[in-house]
Homo-oligomer: A and B are copies of this chain.
Amino acid sequence: MAGPEGKESKPSRGAFALKTPKGTRDWSGPDMLLRDEVFKSITDVFKRHGGTPLDTPVFELKEILAGKYGEDSRLMYDLEDQGGEICSLRFDLTVPFARWLAMNNIQHVKRYQLAKVYRRDQPAIARGRLREFHQCDFDIAGVYDPMIPDAETLRIIVEVFEALDLGITIKLNHRKILDGLFAVAGVPADKIRSISSAVDKLDKMAWPDVKKEMVEEKGLTEDVADRIGEYVRHSGTVTEMVDFLRANETLCANKSVKAGIEDMALLGSYLQALDVIHKITFDLSLARGLDYYTGLIYEVINLPPKSDDADGSNKRKKDDPASQVGSIAAGGRYDNLVGMYGKRTIPCVGVSFGVDRIFTILKARREREKAAKACGTDVYIMAFGGKEFEGLLLERMDVARRLWNAGIRAEFSPKVKPKLPQQFKAAEDVPLGVILGQEELAAGQVRLKSLGHGEDKSDEKDRGILVKLDDLADEVKKMLL
């Protein structure tokens, strides 16, 4: 019934374009059903891990959001000043969560939230990049022993993508290692965040281009850039990388790197116990854009896991078209964000699933598999008769009432005297038909007929089985099993 989404009609009577705002779309029909399936798969995993749901307003006081997103803040949607508070639409779910923790003085919680967020970015709808898009977040807040909540979060990522049947690799890194490594390479403290952003582009750009950006745009000397390049092009299993880093005395002399390595070694043992270690790549080029991360960071790529060979370089990924999809989930540890709102610091770690990108991937697969249709009705109630046929509307209503009372999804034609072909057409996607005729009704009976796709539905020869009105709901239930 629903037409294609997101298209624009030409200006008509009202003399304005009939469309949704730029970068937004409607959701209906099979898209909506698939989106809800994705939501359910993800939240089922969250609930299994003791997650409790949270919902926050779509807008927040602007001062709550200010200074949390670095230069991306320019992408925020502001509400007009209409003589009250100054508000903006939420930009992510992490900052509202931190505001909620601080406001309610919550010491520890596993919370999840599934909601739309808003960014005035350049939209690319075909790749699932919109201005109004979904995030689905799970975060663990509280003071715990090192790396335990981090390990559970990674386990949750693996469970989610197993539930969605999507192959993934999780790229891991640690802000302490990265920051220490930059310091050892000779990056001035005030340039660490911007050099970090440049390094983060290594999954989309070749090293010479990244180096060029560091030297020409960000003002590093060549030898500092080269030293960075030496380190960050390494990736491998957690064990390999921990060994590699421990073997490097220069790096280990740096306190921040040392602390990061210990975290990663501990995490490795937990990931082993949780049986997810094989999904993990420790990738020193992963940096993540957001300012608020303080420890472990990760990004999930929709790829068959790459082979565990010893060559840690990620050169081969450049040519892999699947790498164009971008990350489908990401997150990390942010221990200082909540402290920005209150007296108390509450360490947090979490992950955000990019539902729209996941949806885009699954929809393409689903279309290949020609699956699931939008119709959700079980029974269509029809009437027919001879010349003096009066439509049997009240009788159809009575039957509908009986079925609805039994919790069965039923419909009938909203016409007083519907024609038989019309009724069969309306029942096209419906598995069962109840057919009312004057004679049968006089005997307290109706015909119940399977409307399978293969057969000629209006075939008079298959008139279905006779069922007593009082038994109808039970018979329908049996046939629906």
Contact = CB atoms under 8 A, between A and B. Distances in A.
A28 B55 contact: yes
A274 B401 contact: yes
A475 interface: no
A397 B16 contact: no
A137 interface: no
B342 A9 contact: yes
Give the interface residue-count category, chain A: 35 or more
Contact of A404 (B49, B55, B132): B49
Contacts of A179: none
Contacts of A47: 376, 409
Contacts of A48: 404, 407-410
A61 to B, nearest CB: 6
Interface string A114-153: 0010101000000000001000000010101100110110
Interface stretch (A75-83, A222-230, A247-255, A459-467): A75-83
A78 B78 contact: no
A387 interface: no
A340 B78 contact: no
Contacts of A19: 61, 103
Nearest to A97: B26
Contacts of A384: none
A443 B478 CA distance: 48
Nearest to A5: B104
Given A3-B105, A394-B270, A52 B25 contact: no
A81 B106 CA distance: 37
Interface string A261-291: 0000000011011110000000000000000
Interface in A19-67: 19-22, 24-29, 32-33, 36, 47-50, 52-61, 63-64
A421 interface: no
Interface in A408-443: 408-411, 414-416
Contacts of A77: 79-80, 82
Contacts of A458: none
Contacts of A148: 393, 414-416
Contacts of A106: 1-3
B401 A275 contact: yes
A58 B132 contact: yes
A82 B13 contact: no
Contacts of A53: 27-28, 32-33, 36
Given A18-B102, A105-B3, A25 B401 contact: no
Contacts of A82: 77-78, 120
B404 A155 contact: yes
A60 B401 contact: no
Contacts of A376: 47, 50, 52
A308 interface: no
Contact of A21 (B4, B55, B57, B397): B57
Contacts of A9: 102-103, 105, 342
A272 B50 CA distance: 48
27 contacts: A1-B109, A2-B52, A3-B104, A3-B106, A9-B103, A13-B341, A16-B61, A20-B56, A21-B57, A28-B52, A28-B54, A28-B111, A48-B408, A49-B404, A50-B377, A50-B410, A58-B116, A58-B132, A77-B82, A80-B81, A148-B414, A152-B414, A155-B404, A159-B404, A269-B394, A270-B393, A273-B393
